Copies of this chain bind each other. A is one copy, B any other.
Amino acid sequence: MHSINKLKIVNDPIYGFITIPNELIFTLVEHPYFQRLRRISQMGLSYLVYPGAHHTRFHHALGAMHLAGRALDVLQFKGVTFSDEERSSLLAAVLLHDIGHGPFSHAVEHSIVHGVSHEHLSLLFMKELNDQLGGKLDMAIAMFTQEYDRPFFHQLISGQLDVDRLDYLKRDSFYTGVSEGAINSERLISMLNIHDNKLVLEEKAIYSVEKFIIARRLMYWQVYLHKTGIVAEQLLIKLLRRARSLLKVGQNLAMSSDMRFFMEREDYQNFDSEVLHRFARLDDSDILWAMKQWVDHPDSVLSRLSAMILNRNLLKISLQEEEFSKAEIDHHLQRVSKELKLPLDEASFFVFSGSISNQAYHMDRDAILLLTKKGDVMDVVQASDQLNLRTLSTPIKKYYLCFPKQIY
């Protein structure tokens, strides 16, 4: 009890204050597994585009938990009842929903622990913490895994209008300075309700939901899928892939022993407690540190990629709606191979294409529901008189081609 008072309140530029509501949450926040999130950037390498974007997973997790508390307050005010344990479990589940993220969040999901999603790792962390806490997270885990019998708790953790999104869209917009992406989280939350144990919004929320979907769409194209951001992320993935193949052929590469452990491994299915503990020691500094050492490595692909990211000397990128032709890619490959004096397979680290896609709203899964004054429930897609949410549900796919600027 004593210790609680010390961290009871956390300053937050967005909500003013975030209160740590009870001993369980305090214990989780204090845990080294959670403190680690202070060293993991929420937006990966996006700070190369938006220099303000250095906020962390730690801060986002606290923010989402704060919104979860606000959502429960609103629901309670409207007559929804729940136990103290349910409240605490929801907050715990929200707090831990992203604890499985590795260095630079998404970028590394595809390279360091290839094939293991951060959601899966979050669950492993929760189970480990649950063991340490003697089962106090049983209900939180059930909510997280959709096994709890009041589905709205899961929807608040993970859904099309969950507190995760409500926090990160607002937070990312705030820290990047892309103020157009700002959503009014508090307003949306104030219109939440429960119907048949499912999350719904009051009918009048329709215009706010539309604006939320459009703001999210804007954040995707302008921030999360920003051209320079794509280049940086792809370069990091290529770099780690290169490092991995150099390790395989026995080359010496400076890196932390924990990072080496994962970089030398192929199979990540067997994530026991010990492997998890090693994973929990990784953060952004492992990657940054390694890149800084690799700048001097004799392998020119490795050193060049490292320097490009560190010094923000990135590739050019073209974006279009059709796939790039093999001819166009080959043209760049040939050119780069000649200019940089690299064999074609190594030139492909600097010339590559791929695709990104974005879907503003998912019609099929977990629709956002409105509750009319008469007590009927309808999908926002039906409710929106004009904004064609059906169209907004079509995924948009774009193709990119990255290549170095021509040397004159």
Interface positions of A (Cβ within 8 A of B): 10-14, 16-17, 30, 32, 35, 38-39, 47-48, 50-52, 54-56, 58-59, 62, 174-180, 182, 184, 186-187, 190, 207-208, 210-211, 214-215, 217-218, 221-222, 254, 256-258, 281, 283-286, 288-289, 292-293, 310-313, 360, 385-388, 391-392, 394, 396
Contact = CB atoms under 8 A, between A and B. Distances in A.
A207 B222 contact: yes
A90 to B, nearest CB: 21
Contacts of A310: 32, 35
A386 B310 CA distance: 36
Copies of this chain, tallied across the complex: 4
Given A56-B54, A387-B387, A218 B222 contact: no
Given A38-B47, A51-B59, A180-B208, A256 B214 contact: no
Task: List 3 tightest A-B contacts by C-beta distance, closest first.
Answer: A13-B177, A388-B388, A285-B288
B293 A288 contact: no
A347 to B, nearest CB: 23
Contacts of A257: 293
Contacts of A214: 210-211, 214, 387
28 contacts: A11-B52, A12-B51, A13-B175, A13-B177, A30-B311, A30-B312, A32-B311, A35-B312, A38-B47, A39-B288, A51-B58, A51-B59, A52-B55, A54-B56, A179-B187, A180-B184, A182-B182, A207-B222, A210-B214, A210-B218, A211-B215, A217-B387, A256-B289, A285-B288, A285-B289, A286-B289, A386-B391, A387-B387
B62 A51 contact: yes
Contacts of A285: 284-285, 288-289, 292
Contacts of A187: 179-180
B11 A50 contact: yes
Q: Say what secondary structure dominates the interface of chain A.
A: helix
A50 to B, nearest CB: 5
A58 B48 CA distance: 11
Contact of A387 (B178, B222, B311, B391): B391
Nearest to A59: B51
B211 A16 contact: no
A190 B177 CA distance: 15
A389 to B, nearest CB: 9
Contacts of A179: 13, 16, 184, 187
A360 B210 CA distance: 13
Interface centre among A52, A208, A218 (most CB of B within 10 A): A52
B184 A292 contact: no
Contact of A56 (B16, B51, B207): B51
Interface centre among A48, A54, A174, A391 (most CB of B within 10 A): A54
Contact of A288 (B62, B218, B283): B283
A11 B54 contact: no
A211 B207 contact: no
B391 A13 contact: no
A178 B50 CA distance: 22
Contacts of A289: 256, 285-286, 288-289
A173 to B, nearest CB: 9
A9 to B, nearest CB: 8
Contacts of A207: 180, 217-218, 221-222
Contacts of A391: 386-388
